[in-house]
Amino acid sequence: MKREFVQFRCSVYEKKLLKVKAKKSGLSISEYCRRAAFDDRIIERLSEDQIEAYKLLVQYQNNFKRIGNMFRKRNPKLADEVTQLAKEIREHLLSFKV
């Protein structure tokens, strides 16, 4: 349980910046400062546009996999290229989770 109280001085600009960064990461200013001080992981939350882009990439990845499977017997080279593209999209999708 947190019982101790710590204060520090900062400029008006620094305080606004702390508020903005804390809000983007979904944390209170206190929690944001605590994590920053202890080098804990601070993850910025995704915006609505980023979430939509993520969903679109997931859909593209699934479609490219299907296309690759469909052409596997007729044109193996095309299937390999499509499969490689699907893997690249998957790598980008995994970077969202970091």
Q: End-to-end distance of the chain based on CA atoms, in angstroms?
A: 29
Give the per-residue pLDDT at 39: 86
* Polymer length of the chain: 98
- The whole-angstrom separation of Cα 98 and Cα 84 is 22
Q: List CB contacts of 75: < 8 A, sequence separation 6 or more.
A: none
Give the per-residue pLDDT at 51: 82
- The whole-angstrom separation of Cα 47 and Cα 53 is 10
**What token pair was written down for 38?**
């202890």
Give the per-residue pLDDT at 52: 86
The verdict on pTM exceeding 0.75 is no
Instruction: Give the tens place of pLDDT for each residue, 12-52.
Output: 999 999 999 999 888 999 999 999 999 888 877 777 888 88
**What token pair was written down for 80?**
């390999």
Give the per-residue pLDDT at 86: 81
Q: Where are the domains of the chain?
A: 8-45, 48-95
**Phi–psi pair at 17, nearest 5 degrees:** -65, -40
Instruction: Give the tens place of pLDDT for each residue, 38-90.
Output: 988 887 777 788 888 888 888 888 877 777 777 776 777 777 777 788 888 88
Give the per-residue pLDDT at 97: 62
